[in-house]
Amino acid sequence: DQQVKQNSPSLSVQEGRISILNCDYTNSMFDYFLWYKKYPAEGPTFLISISSIKDKNEDGRFTVFLNKSAKHLSLHIVPSQPGDSAVYFCAASARYAGNNRKLIWGLGTSLAVNP
């Protein structure tokens, strides 16, 4: 059973428009959420994160929104640029066994930004 779900395998947007990538989770123990971006032939790179005590975190063109009651988060990219074309992974972090933490990953959404 997938605890972190990215239901859209792909998304295509026009350059300059907003890209919205969605992520749903099932485990209420998750208290920190991260977005990673992955280009072909490279490992994922950290993009932006949000703690469960917040509902919004912004970093330049990237904003993550968290709706805890709906167990839903979204990544907004505005304006979208062709260089943003990549696979975006949502990951959720939970504490277990004392001070240990585990990241649970979604399947990813492939974003294509068209010029």
Q: Does 53 bind other proteins (CB under 8 A)?
A: no
Residue from 8, 15, 32, 72 touching other proteins (CB under 8 A): that is: 32
Q: Does 2 bind other proteins (CB under 8 A)?
A: yes
Closest by CA to 91, choosing from 80, 102, 83, is: 102
Cβ atoms of residues 6 and 33 within 8 Å = no
* Number of Cβ atoms within 10 Å of the Cβ of 91: 21
Cβ-based nearer residue to other proteins, 14 or 28: 28
* Parallel/antiparallel/unpaired status of strands 32-38 and 45-51: antiparallel
Residue from 80, 106, 109, 113 touching other proteins (CB under 8 A): that is: 106
Residues lying near other proteins in the complex (CB under 8 A): 2, 4, 31-32, 34, 36, 41-46, 49, 51, 89, 93, 99-107
